Structure 1
Amino acid sequence: MKETISIKMLNTLQKAKTQLSDEAIRHIIDFVLSQMNDEHCFKNKGGQPDLYYTAFGWMLCFILGIKTDVNKMRKYLDSLDIEKLDLIHYAAFVRCSILADLSKNGKIITWLGSLKSKKVKKLTDFSGIPHDNPQSPYSKFIWLSLLEDTGNKLKDKSSFITEVEEYRLPNGGYRNLSKGLGATTNATVAALSVLGQLKGYETNRNVDFLRNLQQANGGFQGASASPVPDILSTATALFMLQCYGQKPKYDPEDFLEAHWLDSGGFCPTLIDETSDVEYTFYGLLALGTL
């Protein structure tokens, strides 16, 4: 069975864990626990319970072996009105539901064994979609990942691929806005992930374009206008290069080390030295590609 996007990420996170010392893992676990409230959901940068952040937090719990209370997890999910969720939060809800299933009876089972066909809404049924555009590579990436996580098959693969390719720029790379002037790391990673899952991970000029976006310090910027490289863009770019069997142009180890805080979490950039479970997830994902 072909690996889903989620399973590829889980395997990379697991690889990161095997490369860390017990002390380093304990440090990260302490940070993750500091972000969890009594209801077992995770807080955002504002300190409020947040479904999006909870998906990252529960994923880290799954990987790091942090014991969770399934009853509290289920109670939190049952309190949400899923009909009002936008695409991003709906995908987070589905992932959280899977993670709750994985942890039932206090026993962790494999993600792969949890994949059962579940009915999901159509992409065009969501009121909130990234960039207000269901056709963008990032929207397509979230949608394809959601279909994979719920055991659903894409109905028209050919059209899906064609729509993604419409966002490719002549000089390489992809954009998320139909009238965007330049390619971005986010859009290029999303497009390459979709195309890799649907066509196979064969190196091409757009993979080379992504590789060449890396700066000499080891990091990737979200876009050319971004003031500094960030841990999220770096992690997703390194992860996608790994999927295509490519090594980064520069060694990113020092860059990642610089973003690893004394708290045990990772910060977004060197000019924003705050941490949360989302960026800690991406920090570990990046470490898993080394």
Structure 2
Amino acid sequence: MLSYHEQLTLRLATGIGELDEDVRQRHTQFLLNKQQPDGGFAGREGESDLYYTSFGLRSLAILGELHGDTAQRSADYLQTKLLGHESVVDFLSLIYGAKLLETAAGIDIFAQASPGWQQTVAETLHSLRRDDGGYAKGPEGMASSTYHTFLVLLCLQLIEQPIPDPQSMVKFLLSQESEEGGFREIRASKRAGTNPTAAAIGALRILNGLTEEIIEGTLDFLVEMQNDEGGLRANTRIPIADVLSTFTGMLTLTDLKALDEIAPDAALRYVRSLELPTGGFLGAAWDEVADVEYTFYGLGSLALLHTPSDFQLE
């Protein structure tokens, strides 16, 4: 069975395929121009890193353009990071980037890795597990994080390692649900957010922990997050929509077969308003510079809004 990330890539690639060729080419060229001399991708400043490289590779993969010299240079960059000590976010970025390169270009960056490297990675991830069943952001962290628990789950799927005591993980995730619907990032948070809600629902889907009550509360919360701009906000305290929250919120609604609970036409207008004629996407109305991360969220949002209604993952 395909992992969550692999299913997501297929879904987004299907939706992207519905866009006009000139739109796809414009964004492809933007991304190719963002690849650094070392083969990686950087943020708005600084050097290449695993986080932004993952977004560059994900974007090119759903556009069908992760191949040839571009893919090989990216593989060379990822191989320089194999012996590093990375955060959970970077672990996932490295492993998922490697999976994309293997699937799209037939390049296996782990071909020379020592036997049992998957177990070593899993042990490192499990060192972040806390007594409540969730995972902390780092070794010093005491509080479990909804988002990082989801990331660990995705990593374990990608390296084909078992999930220990999945029911404890489900119990933690359920404890993060807000009374008003939606999910908190950490227990001390005072309100739910669009992005931790997406992480919680994604994890609960993988763990078969969703209930009708959870779905109903999540839908009520996400519908409230769409504002007059047409996009979705990060939480109730933030008045301005952003393309990250718009993507994660719409992905959650799509997973729950409820995208029509919001106004998709308004969401499409919002996402298009952040699209630059030279390629790339801004993060929100306040933004002035496109980058590879927000470009992935913009492309992903367009893909979700253009995916054929009869598309099935399983």
Asked whether the two chains share a fold, i.e. TM above 0.5, the reply is yes
Pairwise CA RMSD of aligned residues?
Answer: 2.6
The list of structure 1 runs, each at least 4 consecutive aligned residues, that deviate by more than 4 angstroms after superposition, is 103-107
Q: Deviations over 1:31-85 (max 9, x none)?
A: 0111102332112110521211111111222222323435433332232264421
Q: Partner of 2:137 in structure 1?
A: 129
AA in 2 matched with 1:215: N
Are positions 1:173 and 2:175 aligned together? no
What is the CA–CA distance in structure 1 between the aligned matches of 2:10 and 2:117, rounded to whole Å?
A: 22
The aligned runs of 1:194-205 (5 Å cut-off) are: 194-199=203-208, 203-205=215-217
Q: Deviations over 1:100-128 (max 9, x none)?
A: 32345579xxxxxxxx9933234343698
Q: Partner of 1:77 in structure 2?
A: 78
What is the CA–CA distance in structure 1 between the aligned matches of 2:253 and 2:117, rounded to whole Å?
A: 30
Q: Partner of 1:141 in structure 2?
A: 150
What is the CA–CA distance in structure 2 between the aligned matches of 1:45 and 1:156, rounded to whole Å?
A: 40
Aligned length: 281
What is the CA–CA distance in structure 2 between the aligned matches of 1:224 and 1:136, rounded to whole Å?
A: 20
Give unpaired runs (5+ residues) of structure 1: 108-115
AA in 1 matched with 2:62: I
Q: Deviations over 1:164-196 (max 9, x none)?
A: 111111221111121111111111111111112
Which of 272-281 and 3-12 deviates more?
A: 3-12
AA in 2 matched with 1:39: D
Are positions 1:220 and 2:228 aligned together? no
AA in 2 matched with 1:173: G
The aligned runs of 1:1-290 (5 Å cut-off) are: 1=1, 3-66=2-65, 67-69=67-69, 70-80=71-81, 82-104=83-105, 118-119=118-119, 120-122=121-123, 123-125=125-127, 129=137, 132=141, 135-199=144-208, 203-247=215-259, 248-251=261-264, 252-290=267-305
Say whether the 8 Å CA contact 2:122–2:161 is kept in structure 1: no
Give unpaired runs (5+ residues) of structure 2: 109-115, 129-134, 306-314
Q: Deviations over 1:115-145 (max 9, x none)?
A: x993323434369827945622111111111
Q: Partner of 2:310 in structure 1?
A: none
What is the CA–CA distance in structure 2 between the aligned matches of 1:11 and 1:200, rounded to whole Å?
A: 24
AA in 2 matched with 1:250: A
TM-superposed CA distance for 1:208, in Å, is 2.8
Identity level (%)? 26
Q: TM-score, normalised by structure 1?
A: 0.87
Q: TM-score, normalised by structure 2?
A: 0.81
TM-superposed CA distance for 1:210, in Å, is 2.1
Q: For residues 280 and 235 of structure 1, do their structure 2 counterparts lie closer, same or farther at Cα, with a shift above 3 Å needed?
A: same
What is the CA–CA distance in structure 2 between the aligned matches of 1:182 and 1:128, rounded to whole Å?
A: 19
AA in 1 matched with 2:86: L
